[in-house]
């Protein structure tokens, strides 16, 4: 059996059809080569890490997103990379929740946070957008703040006059990227706990 045959078997086994899809995980970012690996695409990077760990691929386009269905910690999840651009992330997320009749509390959103250094993550049960336009869009179109989220540190602007858009659309230097990547295993582990209803445990273990 080739490595690709093995990978396809893992992927097939990872989306059991006899289980109801019950959770949505959305990693936020912007589509397009020009935005790859930018700070604002931290959410994309996180769900790519989930794909690598749990053996699935983003092989379909639905809900204005790249999509995959996967079993994560025994829970069948729809994993999204919205392609609406960051400021309209709620359009993709709300469509997916509505289609599968999934309650807002079964939505996990993973996204960048400039208030945290690249080696830090913060897990929250719910809350306001905190100035993040992707979260602002999701809250507006889903009409709720009651969803868990994982914030991924990307670092603050180097000085107050630095343009925020230029900063978040810019890329990590080598040291920052290494620090960011060092927490992706923790993000995956936290996501598995959260979809299993263990957010307190995830917060206690990984909020650092």
- Which residue among 40, 61, 120, 132 is the active-site one? 40
DSSP 171: B
Which tokens in the block code for residue 137? 């869009």
Q: Is 40 a catalytic residue?
A: yes
Which H/E stretch holds residue 120? none
Measured CA distances, 30 to 9, 143, 184 (Å): 30, 23, 19
| Alpha-carbon span 91 to 140, nearest angstrom | 10
Residue matched to tokens 């400021």: 87
H, E, C per residue of 7-39:
HHHHHHHCCCCCCCCCEEEEECCCCCHHHCCEH
Which tokens in the block code for residue 8? 């396809």
Minimal CA–CA distance to 64: which of 44, 43, 89? 89
Residues noted as catalytic: 40
């Amino acid at each position: 059996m080739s490595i690709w045959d093995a990978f396809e078997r893992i992927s097939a086994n990872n989306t059991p059809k006899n289980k109801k899809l019950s959770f949505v995980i959305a990693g936020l970012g912007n589509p397009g080569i020009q935005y790859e690996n930018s700070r604002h695409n931290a959410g994309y990077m996180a769900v790519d890490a989930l794909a690598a760990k749990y053996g699935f691929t983003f092989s379909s386009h639905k809900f204005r997103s790249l999509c995959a269905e996967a079993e994560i910690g025994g829970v069948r999840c729809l994993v999204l990379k919205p392609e609406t651009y960051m400021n309209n992330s709620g359009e993709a997320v709300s469509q997916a929740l509505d289609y599968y009749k999934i309650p807002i509390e079964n939505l996990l959103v993973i996204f960048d946070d400039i208030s945290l250094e690249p080696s830090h993550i913060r897990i929250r049960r719910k809350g306001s957008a905190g100035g993040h336009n992707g979260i602002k869009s999701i809250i507006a179109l889903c009409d709720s703040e009651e969803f868990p989220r994982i914030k991924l540190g990307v670092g603050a602007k180097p000085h107050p006059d630095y343009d925020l858009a230029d900063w978040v659309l810019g890329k990590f230097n080598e040291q920052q990227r290494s620090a960011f990547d060092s927490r992706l295993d923790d993000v995956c582990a936290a996501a598995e706990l959260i979809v299993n209803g263990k957010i307190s445990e995830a917060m206690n273990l990984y909020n650092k």
